[in-house]
Amino acid sequence: MILPRTKILESLETTRGEYTKALGLPIPLHCPPRGHSRRRLDRQLHVHLYALPVRPLWLDLWAKTSSARLPVVLGHRLADGTRAGYAPPGRLAQGVSLSDEDGRAVLHLLFNNVYILFDLVGQPEALACLLLRKSLDLALPHLEPWACEVAALPTPRFTVLLNRLRRDTAREEAVFREGTRDRARAAYADQQRRRLWEEAAFLEEEVRATEHALDELSCTLTREARHLTACRRKLRVLQGETAQSDRAADDLARLQEVEGVLEVEPHAWGVRVVTMPIEVVYADARYRLGCFQIDLADTGAITVRNLTDPYGFYDHPHVWDGRPCLGNVREGLAKLVAEYQWVAAAEVLLDFLRTVTPKDWYVPVTNWKLAG
């Protein structure tokens, strides 16, 4: 995260203080608002942040200094929106420009003034402090005679101190790069988790939409099968055959005798069957799922509700909110309902409720209580 510029400047003052204390050399920082800063001629090392020297009047006869694109500086990528830097002053200007490992001019030295040609204050705090250290490490060897005189240090001692500061910079750079890698890994992991969550949410929607489409197709299949049966019956009547007698009363009586059926209730829209408590065996354990209400509608719709022991929206490991996942028995069951074969349809559904398949269930059967 990039802090306000005042906070970054406070952190840079701390870094500057380390070099001042180590070398005994005053190093003030300047942050001009308009990108040009006049040179100072005294016994301090002046560092101008993101600035160029003020041009002499006679140089204004030529074109202004142009800008440069600096996406990477001193081996580090700058933040977005801060990659426009200054091109170094031309050959007619005083001083010398210094380049980084990639050959890009990043500093300009003018006597005891160091002009940083990129937006150092616009970087994240850790990167800004590291780039200031690397800029000073790059500039100070070129100012060695002047710095030794101002700091009253012999050249060998000054070189030792510079090497010590470079080692500190290398350690900070290693810590910074490791932190950058850790943040990148964490960001990638978060991105993958979001992608997987979005994909899972999408697949859940697809499952629900497909189940809804299957229910509609089952109803359509039931209507078409019933229409086919009616057409065949009418055809037999037209051919002189005796129409089959109504077996509704017999079917209800036979339904009452089906093992596991507690009650049977006729409705204008179909038949309702209430079961005795259903138990299933899984992994050498018996689980009590409860009593179920099975509604078989004339339209082909099949609803299964757990009357006693639902688990949230799950009436059964294979039933969600009353909608059973019938798998490969769906088509045959639709035909049985279409032909009003309530007994056979109830037997198929009872067998369905007494069976659990781990690879196909919505929730594990272990969410229900053990029998007994």
> In this structure, are residues 53 and 93 in contact, taking their beta carbons and an 8 Å threshold?
yes
Radius of gyration from C-alpha coordinates of the chain: 42
Other Cβ atoms within 10 Å of 345 Cβ, number: 24
pLDDT in tens, 129-185: 999 999 999 999 999 999 999 999 999 999 999 999 999 999 999 999 999 899 889
CB atoms under 10 Å from CB of 139, counted, come to 21
In the numeric block, the tokens 């990148």 are attached to 184
List pLDDT tens digits, range 259-281: 999 999 887 678 999 999 999 99
What pLDDT score was predicted for residue 315?
A: 96
Nearest to 271 by CA among 282, 255, 259, 292: 255
**Which residues in the chain show pLDDT less than 50?**
57-63, 241-245
Domain positions in the chain: 5-153, 245-370
Residue 236 is predicted with a pLDDT of 76
DSSP of 10-67 = HHHHHHHHHHHHHHT----EE--SSSEE----SSS-EEEET-EEPPPGGGGGSPPPPE
Q: Which helix (H) or strand (E) holds 295?
A: strand 292-297
Task: Report phi then psi at 31, rounded to 5.
Answer: -125, 80
Task: Specify the pLDDT at position 65.
Answer: 55
DSSP 80-99: TT--EEEPPP-TTSSSEEEE
Query: Which pairing describes strands 29-30 and 46-49: parallel, antiparallel, or unpaired?
Result: parallel
Cα separation, 53 vs 92, whole angstroms: 13
Q: What is the DSSP letter of 4?
A: P
